[in-house]
Amino acid sequence: MHCGAKVCIICGCLLLLVYWIGFHQIYSTFNSHLQPPIQSHGCPQYPLEETIAPVKGSRHFMVAAYEDHRERRVTRIIGINNREDHQPLNCVFCCADNKLVYKEAEIDMHSDHFGFPFVTTDTLCKEEPSCNATQVTILGHGDVMEIKDVRFLPIRNQEKREDAFPYEFTVCISNLFGNYNNVLQFIQTIEVYKILGIERVLIYNTSCSPLLEKVLQYYKEEGTLEVVPWPITSFLNPSSGWNFQEHKGDLHYYGQLTTLNDCIYRNMYRTKYLLLNDIDEIIVPYQHNNLHKLMEQLAMQNPGTSVFLIENHIFPKNYFDDSKRFVLPLWKRVPGINIMEHIYREPDRKNVYNPTKMIINPRQVVQTSVHSVLKSMGRTFKVPPDVSRIVHVRVPLQGHLTKEQLHVDAKLWEYEAELIPNINKVIEKLGIVD
């Protein structure tokens, strides 16, 4: 081999060695900066309990953190993010031994956002087996060492449960907003659900009237209701409707998609079935006396099903029962719609799809939208409307129809004997009449 060739080989080897040493030092420095389990006394003694918290230096908001035991061992942080914000983030775990562990975050923006700039987001944080984390937060890459005054979330659902849940049925009411004051319909709806077998109702509250606040407190003390504060208007300009072109705003319908997803994880190990619907909607069984018997049959007939779609049917609030049998003096003094007066249902339209709401097994649902799930581990079954449908008292959808063109549907009257005394008891006990 010529001397020149030997020199070239030696020089090449030296260059490769220098390059490898330099790269290794840079990588080690970067990696140690990102993911050091570092001893710290900065882990907060009392983790954040608020439901919305901004992530420093980003357009990301944290809502709640949940351990997800299903596909892989991760902590899932439900949140909200701007769809144009793709900056990398880090998860910071606070371990049981007061150490901090940094992990690069995986961001999963939900596919449904209805065109609004902000979207529901899952931040997935791979857990460190030796950490036994109790709290977690999110930071930007440039802020990994800036842990002072950072807000941590408690990690919920650390104990997995397969059966023997505290409740069989829980209802998620996604949002109260606009100083909500439909008091009579609220009480009637809760009392119908109790007759049908609902044991727990969870509501996300942005704003309601002082009168309704009094009703909420009554049901909280009774043990029926859990209220989650939802101060979304303090952080974003949420839309009051679902259509971005029409309603504008930062986020769809006061963050409804975020609250529905949070409600699934919040109740994952607390209830066997979860109903996802609005406060003016009641999922009613039409062939069974209660929801227990309905779901017992549906589950037996549809093994492996985790999502049951229930059709929405409109009962226009501008048409009233002519008999006036439920125009009760006590009820007339309470603000709000009297759903018992509205027994006229709009007919189905050919080639028009009725929107649905859902009864789900929360342990089998990963992400949801309003009318269907986005990701789940089981099958979906659409329940025939003669088996169960949603009684939805609201403004008409087919406003051109006369009363004679509507169907008479007095299903709620079947609960009259038990329902009326129960409603009267709440009204009289609280003294909530105007």
Mean residue pLDDT across the chain: 89
- Please report, rounded to a whole number, the percentage of residues in the chain having pLDDT higher than 70: 87
pLDDT at 67: 95
Dist CA 3 CA 266 (whole Å): 74
Q: Which of the four pLDDT bands, split at 50, 70 and 90, describes residue 163?
A: confident
Q: Which residue has the higher pLDDT, 195 or 6?
A: 195
Q: Which of the four pLDDT bands, split at 50, 70 and 90, describes residue 99?
A: confident
Residue 411, C-beta contacts closer than 8 angstroms, at least 6 positions apart = 284, 286, 391
Q: Which of the four pLDDT bands, split at 50, 70 and 90, describes residue 288?
A: very high
- Fill in the amino acid letter for 23: F
- Across 71-75, 174-178, 240-244, 411-415, which has the greatest mean pLDDT? 411-415
- Alpha-carbon dihedral 179, 185, 191, 192, rounded to 10 degrees: -130
pLDDT at 39: 39
Dist CA 21 CA 355 (whole Å): 62
Encoding tokens for residue 404?
């004679």
Domains for the chain: give ranges and CATH numbers.
53-156 (2.60.40), 167-430 (3.90.550)
The three-class DSSP label of residue 186 is helix
pLDDT at 432: 76
CA atoms 311, 273, 287, 298: torsion sign: positive
Question: CB of 112 within 8 A of CB of 28?
Answer: no
